[in-house]
Amino acid sequence: MNDIAVLGAGMHPWGKWGRSFVSYGTAAARAALADAGLEWSDVGSIVGADTMRCGYPGYVAGATFAQALGWQGARVTSVYAACASGAQAIGTARAQILAGLADVVLVVGADATPKGFFAPAGGERPDDPDWLRFRVLGATNPAYFALYARRRMALYGDTAEDFALVKVKNAKAGALNPLARYRKPVTAEEVEASAVVADPLRLLDICATSDGGAALVLSSMEFARRHGHADPVRVRAVSTVSPTYPKAVLDLPDIATDSAAAVGPAARTFRASIARAAYEEAGIGPDDLSLAEVYDLSTALELEWYEDIGLCAAGEGTKLLRDGTTALGGRLPVNTSGGLASFGEAVPAQAIAQVCELTWQLRGTAGGRQVPGARVGITANQGLFGHGSAVVAVR
């Protein structure tokens, strides 16, 4: 096994704080270092997940965070993969550790987001699918989420009530998480009474944009044992796969699928391939999981992730939700952190935050949202332009 150890996990609370992303990232980094019992000077490499919204410092987040913490000569890397940036940063850190380039790597991601919908960067870019979908279709992210929801309703008979129950589940977990932005339980009636944003999705079906930061201190297993961590949480797999041709199911930000006229559709969708690669690398399957953290950009998308990570067959996600399988206390809780429903989206930090939650759950330190006896967890999301993101952590 090519395991690496998770020695420390730290986050800055999510919200709208009106400060620089650098302050959120350095706060998360210091919390992770304190959790690991290490000093910044012990770190041999820092990998920063970039934010494209925060000026030049965001484009070179690794160096930006290193400077904020104090130049000490560490190797530095910056990565960008949209919502998968955090997973790419973890994958980069793991590669450096396994290659012997550093014993200890600090991974940091943070964002300071605008209010409202995310929009593409300025300028005329007709070869940029993200720019085109706004210019040609006027399709904001919630418009895509609504199309995904309508597809589920048409194919599987999902209802607006089903989607609302996802929010109810995640809000209940988020109410137990001191780092979450929204810490108030909601009812299905409150979801269904909230304003329509993109039919059939309402305001409480869709995640907010948030400020926040997350960090991990990762090390080789040898370093961990030498420094008193006999049985740390371990990262066992990182999947950052890309789609295969042809893509027969529309994915954000594209506005058309690949042609399947001459080539049959792939055996599985892109999202399903992300989890499959992580399972194969880790030598586990969905039946081995204790919990999962998935990217609930909307309530309907969480149901798709149940199917994409292999918890059930296509179209059966709603059944798992309704029978309580994915709730706290269920057989396989999903989004014990409260998910994006409770945090909102701070893009470079999110995949790292998912691993923070797995770390606390596998340590048994997650408080009122603790999954009893948790031993194996998976994270899953995807970034624009075909960036896969899944991490398997074990104890």
pLDDT tens digit sequence for 153-173? 999 999 999 999 999 999 999
Distance between CA atoms of residues 145 and 201, nearest Å? 8
pLDDT at 95 over 80: yes
Please check whether residue 239 is in contact with residue 394, taking contact to mean a CB–CB distance below 8 angstroms.
Answer: no
pLDDT of residue 116: 81
Over residues 200-213, the pLDDT tens digits come to 999 999 999 999 99
Length of the chain: 395
| 222 and 111 inside one domain | yes
What average pLDDT score do residues 319-332 get? 97
pLDDT at 137 over 90: no
Confidence of residue 361 (pLDDT cuts 50, 70, 90): very high
| 157 and 84 inside one domain | no
Over residues 255-287, the pLDDT tens digits come to 888 888 788 888 888 999 999 999 999 999 999
**Domain for residue 371, yes or no?**
yes
DSSP lists the bridge partners of residue 208 as none
Please check whether residue 92 is in contact with residue 47, taking contact to mean a CB–CB distance below 8 angstroms.
Answer: yes
Q: Where are the beta strands (DSSP E) in 146-232?
A: 196-198, 201-202, 211-219
**Domain for residue 107, yes or no?**
yes
**Cis bond upstream, residue 246 (ω within 30):** yes
| 335 and 263 inside one domain | yes
pLDDT of residue 267: 82
What tokens appear for 73 in the block?
């000569």
pLDDT of residue 77: 98
**Domain for residue 122, yes or no?**
no
Name the phi and psi angles at 66, rounded to 5: -60, -40
| 229 and 314 inside one domain | no
Burial class (CB in 10 A: 0-12, 13-18, 19+), 246: middle
What are the angstrom distances between the C-alpha of 125 and each of 66, 128, 187, 365? 33, 5, 43, 47
Name the phi and psi angles at 57, rounded to 5: -55, -30
Q: Cα-atom radius of gyration of the chain, to the nearest Å?
A: 20
| 148 and 13 inside one domain | no
**Cβ partners under 8 Å of residue 46, min gap 6:** 62, 65, 66, 69, 74, 75, 76, 77, 105, 106, 107, 108
pLDDT at 122 over 80: no
Residue 242 sits at the vertex; the CA angle it makes with 239 and 248, to the nearest 5 degrees, is 125
**3-class secondary structure, 317:** helix
Confidence of residue 241 (pLDDT cuts 50, 70, 90): very high
Q: Where are the beta strands (DSSP E) in 75-232?
A: 75-79, 104-111, 196-198, 201-202, 211-219
pLDDT of residue 118: 85
DSSP assignment of 237-287 equals EEE-----S---S--TT-SSPPP-SSSPPPSS-HHHHHHHHHHHHHT--GG
pLDDT of residue 26: 98
Which of 168, 198, 233 is a domain's end point? 233
pLDDT of residue 285: 97
Please check whether residue 289 is in contact with residue 376, taking contact to mean a CB–CB distance below 8 angstroms.
Answer: yes
**Domain for residue 163, yes or no?**
yes
| 34 and 148 inside one domain | no
pLDDT at 121 over 80: no
**Long-range contacts for 248-256 (Cβ within 8 Å, ≥24 apart)?**
250/147, 251/382, 251/386, 252/133, 252/141, 252/144, 252/384, 253/129, 253/130, 253/132, 253/133, 253/144, 253/384, 253/385, 254/129, 254/133, 255/129, 255/132, 255/133, 255/136, 255/137, 255/139
What average pLDDT score do residues 89-93 get? 98
Q: Where are the beta strands (DSSP E) in 87-226?
A: 104-111, 196-198, 201-202, 211-219
**Domain for residue 83, yes or no?**
yes
- Global pTM? 0.96
- Residue type at 339? G
Residue 172 sits at the vertex; the CA angle it makes with 167 and 175, to the nearest 5 degrees, is 120
**Domain for residue 309, yes or no?**
yes
| 177 and 262 inside one domain | yes
Confidence of residue 136 (pLDDT cuts 50, 70, 90): confident
Q: Give the position of tokens 């952190």.
A: 337
What average pLDDT score do residues 223-227 get? 96
**3-class secondary structure, 233:** strand
- Residue type at 79? V
Confidence of residue 248 (pLDDT cuts 50, 70, 90): confident
What average pLDDT score do residues 371-386 get? 95
**Domain for residue 126, yes or no?**
no
Domain count, the chain: 2
**Domain for residue 385, yes or no?**
yes
| 288 and 311 inside one domain | yes
Confidence of residue 150 (pLDDT cuts 50, 70, 90): very high
pLDDT at 138 over 90: no
- Among 177, 208, 203, 219, smallest CA distance to 3 is for 219
| 148 and 21 inside one domain | no
| 219 and 76 inside one domain | yes
| 82 and 9 inside one domain | yes
| Domain limits for position 334 | 141-189+236-394
Distance between CA atoms of residues 188 and 79, nearest Å? 39
Q: Which residue has the higher pLDDT, 254 or 22?
A: 22
| 34 and 166 inside one domain | no
Over residues 285-323, the pLDDT tens digits come to 999 999 999 999 999 999 999 999 999 999 999 999 999
We report the CATH number of the domain holding residue 296 as 3.40.47.10
Burial class (CB in 10 A: 0-12, 13-18, 19+), 261: exposed
Task: Report the mean per-residue pLDDT for the chain.
Answer: 95
pLDDT of residue 168: 98
